[in-house]
Copies of this chain bind each other. A is one copy, B any other.
Amino acid sequence: MTHASELVVLLVVFAGAHLGAAAARIAKLPSVVGELLIGVLLGSSCLGWIQPSTVLNTLSTIGATFLLFTVGLESPLKRLLSVGKLGSSVAVFGVIVPFIAAYLLVRSNGAGTTNHLYIACCFIATSAGITARVLHDEGALGLLESKVILAAAVIDDVLAMLILVGVSALAAGGASPMALILPFAEAGLFLTLTIAVGPLIVKRLSRSNTGIGPLSPFVMAMVLCLGLAVTAEMTGLAAIVGAFLAGMLFADHPQSKEIEKQVQPLLVFLTPFFFVLTGAMVDLRSISSIQAALLLVIYVVVAVVSKLVGSGFAAAPLGVRSAMIIGVGMVPRGEVGVIIAGSALAAGAIQQKDYSLLVLMSIITTIIAPPALRILLQSVPRGPKSELPSGSLVAVDEAGLT
């Protein structure tokens, strides 16, 4: 009886999220857009049915942690190294141009450098899952453009995490040189140790049994995921950086595909709490003034144009149409942008107002990119619908996540 109200809230969030995802699918939108909009509807701006609580916050944090673990799981170092120059430069320019553009846009808002850098961080991510879903639905996964987009999106995630490390270290440091160096040293030590020791641990673990018993790879992966998330937080980084690293480490595990499959039901259950709560924390009143609405439009335009220019420029050698496809494919910020905004809000680096704008910007880029990508793809001649090579990004989306 004591937990009745908690269970009711869980039911409302879970069922609401999946209804939203189903509605989004019918409207040919990514599921994540449906879940976020259901959150806006259930949140304080509209119905006011759900409020942030310790329980919802924790479920949402675990959801984001496992989600970033899965994103990491899809980013094996080997694949990153094999994409060649084109994928890398599409990724690098697709990160640098939006970062600089966003920084220039907000640097005169009077809120300090930490605020500017965190906001700029939210502009750099690319949601590989959403684009992969559209490419899959259009049977375009075999195209060179698709391969470049998917590889670049994965590199983008790694770069976004690295930049987030830098920005949080900067934010933790103060004015004095020593206070600036210490957080960097801590974060650097954490990253170095993880990258140096992690693969050895994972390699040792890969000799253990299968199944999902007490010491199975799945359980070990979750322990490492939670462990690195906690350690990342302790060294001043975002928990999601640790979870992402844990995923990357397990990407080379012989049973990584099996682990990824076993994580899916957890994502299905937990990520709705993250997306619905994120939507619920968007305060629509914060964009009710004409200035704020205008600022949102400017954010969206900068987010779209900077990716088109950055990634498109890097892909120019493939011709204008291919460059356009790649540029548009990199536009959706999706869950990664939203997660970075959440971690910036938790770190106290941005205001509620900034948060609402950044989440809405992420939602809008995620809504507008897929139809544009579809139109562009329809002009490209190609063979029969192909299967997704690694299968995994679409699996994440089919779990109602992206």
Contact = CB atoms under 8 A, between A and B. Distances in A.
Interface stretch (A178-186, A216-224, A298-306): A216-224
The size class of the interface chain A forms with chain B is 35 or more
Contact of A213 (B65, B226, B269, B399): B399
B346 A223 contact: no
Contacts of A6: 54, 57-58, 61
A212 interface: yes
Interface string A1-29: 11110111011001100110110010000
B266 A18 contact: no
Interface stretch (A73-81, A88-96, A99-107, A257-265): A257-265
Contact of A3 (B53, B211, B266, B346): B346
Contacts of A312: none
A223 B15 contact: yes
A222 B398 contact: no
A215 interface: yes
A214 interface: yes
A330 to B, nearest CB: 25
Given A18-B214, A214-B25, A11 B230 contact: yes
A337 interface: no
A4 B53 CA distance: 15
A353 to B, nearest CB: 19
Number of copies: 2
A239 B400 contact: no
Contacts of A373: none
Interface string A307-330: 000000000000000000000000
A188 interface: no
Contact of A18 (B14, B223, B234): B223
Given A3-B58, A346-B1, A219 B264 contact: no
Q: Which of A6, A262, A269, A346 has the most CB of B within 10 A?
A: A269
Contacts of A226: 7, 10-11, 14-15
A256 interface: no
Contacts of A398: 211-213
A268 B219 contact: yes
A268 B215 CA distance: 11
A226 B6 CA distance: 11
A347 interface: yes
A50 interface: no
B214 A22 contact: yes
Contacts of A57: 2-3, 6
Contacts of A268: 212, 218-219, 222
A133 to B, nearest CB: 11
Contact of A61 (B7, B34, B58, B211): B7
A351 to B, nearest CB: 16
Given A55-B55, A213-B399, A269 B222 contact: yes
Nearest to A65: B7
A223 B11 contact: yes
A166 interface: no
A198 interface: no
Contacts of A169: none
A94 to B, nearest CB: 29
Q: Which 5 A-B pairs have the closest CB atoms?
A: A21-B214, A22-B214, A11-B226, A4-B233, A3-B61
Given A18-B214, A31-B214, A218-B268, 6 more contacts: A6-B61, A7-B61, A15-B226, A25-B214, A213-B399, A265-B266
